[in-house]
Amino acid sequence: MSVKAIKPDSKIVLVIGGSGFVGRHLVEKLCSLGYTVRVFDLRTTFEHEKVTFYNGDLCNKQDLLKCMDNVDTVFHCATPSPLSNNKKVFLRVNVDGTKNVLDACFEKGVKNLILTSSASVVYSGSNIEHGDETLPYAKRPLDCYTQTKIQQEKLVLSANSESLKTIALRPHGIFGPRDPHMLPTTARLAAAGKTKFIIGKGINKVDFTYIDNVVYAHVLAAQQLQQKPEIAGNAYNITNNEPILFWEFMSRLLKGLGYAAPKYHLPYYFIYFLAFLVQIFVFIVSPFKTIRPTLTTMTVALAGTHHYYSCEKAASEFNYSPVVKLEDAIERTLQSVPELHNKHAKKVK
């Protein structure tokens, strides 16, 4: 990872959700900086000689308490899959589970808590251009993931106090090696021949953020929280600071994976309405069958509206600026997923 100089530290830190995409990258970075790292997660997905793993459910406070002795800083980046569409689980983990995390932090005298929130907490499907942190939370979030991320962020920021300093980082559209959402979903849709269409005019700009930049922001925020305690209680957008046309980004990924770029336009509101009907159908059959459609009003809105954000606040208050440019980030990501490349690819222009 190419990073700016960050001072090593030997404090004990805990990464909740440390076996997941963001969490594991963060764990690896923290280890390389000399931190003593603990991971709390449902499962252990990798081994690392410098990490102590604790398996448990954050909905169970007793599980959490077992790994928090002498912990200075907690990074909370656990979540059910954002694309999983299971309201009960989102409420249980993101809301009730986060209350447990806060209680456990207070009980064990943890000093700092960094929440991985999401820029989507202010997004309700309308265009956001250069949105900053003064935007209000979405009044009508489009899905239960976003709804519970809002509740979670409110809980964490309002718990900020003398004894526990809290901060929320709001990355957007994270991608990179081992990403379980964006690349695999795109490759799956492409392999099924479902990526021929552009939703809307294809002129909407979006932020996509490379994982190393997200990790860098977490480490910086944790360190600055100690030197500049006045940043506590705040939320910060974290992006690559290079908004790009959504369909340009997707086309680059698709072409890099050996698929054709989408080229036929479909009217935005027609697809949005279709997604709405799909959601009603999914709701009606939900007592009998669980369906997780990729076509939801949220994914259609994400693909067809502007949603890019300003990182000015993170830049001025804790010196955040991306360490990997988008061009490099896309290249590195594509190289990291040979298994997702189209095996039947002809040379695609």
Task: Give me the residues that bind ligand LHIR3OJJ (CB under 6 A), please.
Answer: 82-83, 118, 120, 173, 181-182, 185-186, 189, 195, 250, 299, 302-303
Q: In Å, how far are 57, 89, 227, 285 from 81, measured between CA atoms?
A: 15, 10, 34, 21
Q: Which residues touch 123 (CB under 8 Å, ≥6 apart)?
A: 138, 141, 142, 146, 301, 307
Across the chain, which distance is largest between two alpha carbons, in Å? 61
Q: How near is the Cβ of 76 to ligand NDP at its closest, in Å? A: 7
Interaction partner, residue 299 (ligand NDP, ligand LHIR3OJJ, none; CB < 5-8 Å by kind): ligand LHIR3OJJ
The answer to whether the beta carbons of residues 13 and 39 sit under 8 Å apart is no
Return the one option of ligand NDP, ligand LHIR3OJJ, none that residue 186 interacts with (CB less than 5 to 8 A, by type).
Answer: ligand LHIR3OJJ
- Least distance to ligand NDP, CB of residue 193, Å: 25
Q: Are 63 and 99 in contact (CB under 8 A)?
A: no
Q: Which residues bind ligand NDP (CB under 6 A)?
A: 17, 19-23, 41-43, 57-59, 77-82, 93, 97, 116, 118, 149, 171-174, 180-181
Is 145 catalytic? The answer is yes
Least distance from C-beta 160 to ligand NDP, angstroms?
18
- Which residue in 35, 123, 145, 259 is the catalytic one? 145
State residue 233 phi and psi, 5-degree precision.
85, 5
Nearest-CB residue for ligand NDP: 20
Distances from the Cα of 194 to the Cα of 59, 162, 297, angstroms: 37, 52, 17
CA distances for 295 relative to 83, 88, 248, angstroms: 10, 20, 20
Closer of 77 and 257 to ligand NDP (Cβ): 77
Q: Which of 296, 210, 294, 195 is nearest to 250 (CA)?
A: 195
- Least Å distance between CB 211 and ligand NDP? 9
Task: Select the binding partner of residue 195 from ligand LHIR3OJJ, ligand NDP, none (C-beta < 5 to 8 A, by kind).
Answer: ligand LHIR3OJJ
82/233 with CB nearer ligand LHIR3OJJ: 82
The residues that bridge with 334 in the sheet, in sequence order, are: none
Instruction: State in angstroms the smallest separation of the CB of 196 from ligand LHIR3OJJ.
Output: 9
Residue 38 or residue 149: which is nearer to ligand NDP going by CB?
149
Nearest partner of 18 among 46, 166, 195, judged by Cα: 46
Task: Indicate which residues carry an active-site annotation.
Answer: 145
